[in-house]
Amino acid sequence: MSLEALKNLENRFESICSREVAALDRVNAALMAGAYEYFLGNGFVWVETPMLTRVTGSCENVDTLYSVQHFGTQAYLPQTGQLYLEAKIPLHDKVWTVMTSSRAEPCTDHRHLNQFSLVEFERRGDFSVLLPTIEGVVKSMVSSAVKKCGDELNSFNSSAKECLKGGFARMTYEKAVGKLGLEWGDDFKHEHELALVNEAGRPLFITHYPQEIKFFNMRLNREDDRVVNSADLIMPFSGESAGSAEREDDYDVLVKRLKQSRMFSILSQRGVSINEFNDYLNLVRNHRLLHCGAGIGFNRVSQSVLGLESIRQATNYPVTAQSLY
């Protein structure tokens, strides 16, 4: 397979002209079609989210925001459309979008791109519907690839079988850190994720992370407020491929957690006021509707299904600190 050439960032226009890349393109197209079919078949309303935003386009990583001058206003390339999707929950039970997430990380490696397609949804309901929805989307993507590109997948070291053979595995963060000999509050490294997912033999949800290391609006667990009702999806080869959570619906808790968040402390140092979040905070105050959502990294799912060593192989035009096309 000449897909090795795709690990390199140079001569990209030549590399992406090989026959093997044609197969890769068709698999990617089938994966995206599978996402589309899932949302269309399950009553999700597609909505556009803005691709130039205020700080409310950031997720927890405000230190990796790309800045853009927009007629005298400081604008940013969004990392997520989450808050903009959530704003539609008073009108629709379920919404979704595909957006480009931008992260100005100077050290992009074979797991990270500066930009990637993020498949996002928000829906009414609690944690009990969240994980089945993510699993439904991912399985629809993989099934679509198997159905439309069975021959192509035979030439890859695909994880499709593991993805489709049964329900995804689940493990709490607490159990995972115990297993790996880590400390409470540690985040997982890529090798940790792969160890866990390989042992599970299928995609694995790690649930209930410590609130300190997660986004401010992930909902506190009412029985154990050390943790939030969140789940990350770990997939073979690519590791963390989706992040998700119930959204905090208690206005007072939400404001308190925003003010305590590392994100807000960085923003405050830059002179950004909490008023920037007023639209979102007012929404939660005026329309208290328990809901949850997820962001699924399209290129991570693609890397996993194609069994590729590098995420750079899963995309034609990888934007990294060393490449721009």
Q: Is there binding between residue 115 and a second copy (CB under 8 A)?
A: yes
Q: Which two tokens stand for residue 127?
A: 């944690």
Distance from C-alpha of 145 to C-alpha of 37, rounded to nearest angstrom: 12
Q: Is there binding between residue 54 and a second copy (CB under 8 A)?
A: yes
Taking the least distance from each CB to a second copy, the nearer of 54 and 214 is 54
Binding a second copy (rule: CB under 8 A), the pick from 1, 5, 16, 266 is 16
What count of other Cβ atoms lies within 10 Å of the Cβ of residue 132?
12
Q: Is the dihedral of CA 125, 127, 128, 133 positive or negative?
A: positive
Candidate ranges 70-78, 166-174, 256-264, 288-296; the one touching a second copy (CB under 8 A): 70-78
Q: Is there binding between residue 274 and a second copy (CB under 8 A)?
A: no
Of residues 285-314, those binding a second copy (CB under 8 A)? 287
Q: Is there binding between residue 66 and a second copy (CB under 8 A)?
A: yes
Taking the least distance from each CB to a second copy, the nearer of 67 and 157 is 67
Q: Which residue has the tokens 């609130």?
A: 211
Q: Are strands 230-235 and 239-246 parallel, antiparallel or unpaired?
A: antiparallel
Q: Is there binding between residue 271 and a second copy (CB under 8 A)?
A: no
Q: Is there binding between residue 9 and a second copy (CB under 8 A)?
A: no
Q: Is there binding between residue 102 and a second copy (CB under 8 A)?
A: yes
CB neighbour list of residue 89: distance below 8 Å, 6 or more residues apart: 95, 122, 123, 124, 287, 289, 291
Binding a second copy (rule: CB under 8 A), the pick from 3, 6, 53, 216 is 53
Candidate ranges 18-26, 181-189, 211-219, 236-244; the one touching a second copy (CB under 8 A): 18-26
Distance from C-alpha of 58 to C-alpha of 65, rounded to nearest angstrom: 7
Angle, to 10 degrees, between the axis of helix 251-260 and the axis of helix 278-286? 160
Taking the least distance from each CB to a second copy, the nearer of 24 and 177 is 24
Q: What is the size of the binding site for a second copy (CB under 8 A)?
A: 61
Q: What is the separation of C-alpha 201 from the centre of its chain, rounded to a whole number of angstroms? A: 21
Side-chain half-sphere exposure of 135, counting CA atoms within 13 A? 20
Binding a second copy (rule: CB under 8 A), the pick from 61, 100, 172, 221 is 100
Binding a second copy (rule: CB under 8 A), the pick from 283, 284, 294, 305 is 283
Q: Is there binding between residue 104 and a second copy (CB under 8 A)?
A: yes
Q: Which two tokens stand for residue 16?
A: 């992406």
Residue 148: CB minimum distance to a second copy, A: 10
Q: Do residues 65 and 77 touch, judged by C-beta distance below 8 A? A: yes
Binding a second copy (rule: CB under 8 A), the pick from 6, 28, 65, 143 is 28
Taking the least distance from each CB to a second copy, the nearer of 176 and 319 is 319
Q: Is there binding between residue 112 and a second copy (CB under 8 A)?
A: no
Q: Which amino acid is at 138?
A: V
> Exposed, middle or buried, 5 (CB in 10 Å: 0-12/13-18/19+)?
middle
Distance from C-alpha of 67 to C-alpha of 8, rounded to nearest angstrom: 28
Q: Is residue 281 helix, strand or coil?
A: helix
Residue 247: CB minimum distance to a second copy, A: 15
What separation in angstroms does the CA of 306 have from each of 5, 49, 97, 142, 303?
A: 15, 29, 23, 10, 5
Q: Is there binding between residue 77 and a second copy (CB under 8 A)?
A: yes
Q: Where does this chain bind a second copy (CB under 8 A)?
A: 12-13, 16-17, 19, 21-22, 25-26, 28-29, 32-33, 36, 40, 45-54, 56, 66-71, 73, 75, 77, 84, 87-88, 90-92, 98, 100, 102, 104, 106, 114-115, 117, 279-280, 282-283, 287, 315-317, 319, 321, 324-325
